[in-house]
Amino acid sequence: MNNIPLLDHDSKIPLHQQAEEQLRKLIRDNHFRVGDTFPKETDLAKRWGISRNTLRQAIANLVKDGLLERKKRSGTTVRKKKITTDLANWLSFSHEMEDKGTPFKDLRNEVTTVKASKQVASQLQITPGTAVVCLERTRSTGRNPMVYFESYFHPRIGLTGNENFKRPLYELLDEEFHIVPVYSQEEIRAIAATDQIAALLKIPAGAPVLERKRLVLDAGRKPIEFNICYYRSDWFTYSIEIKRPL
């Protein structure tokens, strides 16, 4: 309790709003982790010098947002919040997370030149064995990995592997190579994690994961990137909105 920052009672910002922001920060910084039980409301309200009703107002907003869960007898605990991504509005992972206000970090970011497999060659419409730049990324919103990416790029783009891949990918392709992604062809299925994927995502072998294969095309429908992603199913949900013809 002593390492929980105090609220500023002289600030113009309402105390319930300050409390809410402090709680969000404590969860975001892993001070409270998934499954952790929050301090008793009486203790936390006493430390912050606020009423329990004020504290409950802050907690209610976090419960509504899916960050906290209230249960009788067991109290208030931190809840794992799934990220829902919309199939109808594809973005680079960086922009998608920024759009949702979800901070993330790279646990792995490796660039190599490899020989195109039959699958990669077929998607990029090149000869198997052709040298292509491969970007491997493991990304997370906390300590544990959330998604693993493999991206293969068409040789005509001119990537050398020395580019700054810490930038949003499609922004990099647009600004440095004048390549603009326009179309995305996607295939999604549920699979059992292989030993390799399980190790990368820190889950048991055979655990369910979402596999997404994405072929990105330019305005002339020429392939730019073939991307394979593996999402932890306990972190990600895909959604799509379909309009019925009238």
For each of the chain's 246 residues, which pLDDT tens digit applies?
667 888 999 888 999 898 988 888 887 777 877 777 778 888 888 989 999 899 999 888 888 777 788 877 777 888 755 444 444 445 455 445 444 444 557 788 899 999 999 999 999 999 999 999 999 999 886 667 888 999 999 999 999 999 998 888 888 888 889 888 888 888 889 999 999 999 999 999 999 999 999 999 888 889 999 999 999 887 666 666 666 666
- Distance CA(145)–CA(143), nearest Å, equals 7
Nearest to 20 by CA among 65, 66, 57: 57
Rg, C-alpha atoms of the chain? 22
Do 36 and 43 form a contact (C-beta atoms < 8 A)? no
Torsion of CA 179, 182, 187, 190, to 10 degrees: 80
CA torsion, ordered 9, 13, 17, 21, to nearest 10 deg: -90
Cα–Cα distance for residue pair 139/165, rounded to 1 Å:
13
Task: State which fold the 83-239 domain adopts.
Answer: Chorismate lyase (3.40.1410)
Q: Is 175 exposed, middle or buried (0-12, 13-18, 19+ CB in 10 A)?
A: exposed
Which H or E element spans position 23?
helix 15-28
Q: Which residues pair with 33 in a beta bridge?
A: none
Where are the chain's structural domains?
15-78, 83-239
Angle, vertex CA 94, rays to CA 111 and CA 87, nearest 5: 110
The residue ranges of DSSP E strands in 31-130, in sequence order, are 68-71, 75-78, 83-86, 105-115
**Span 15-78 CATH architecture:** Orthogonal Bundle (1.10)
pTM of the full predicted structure? 0.59
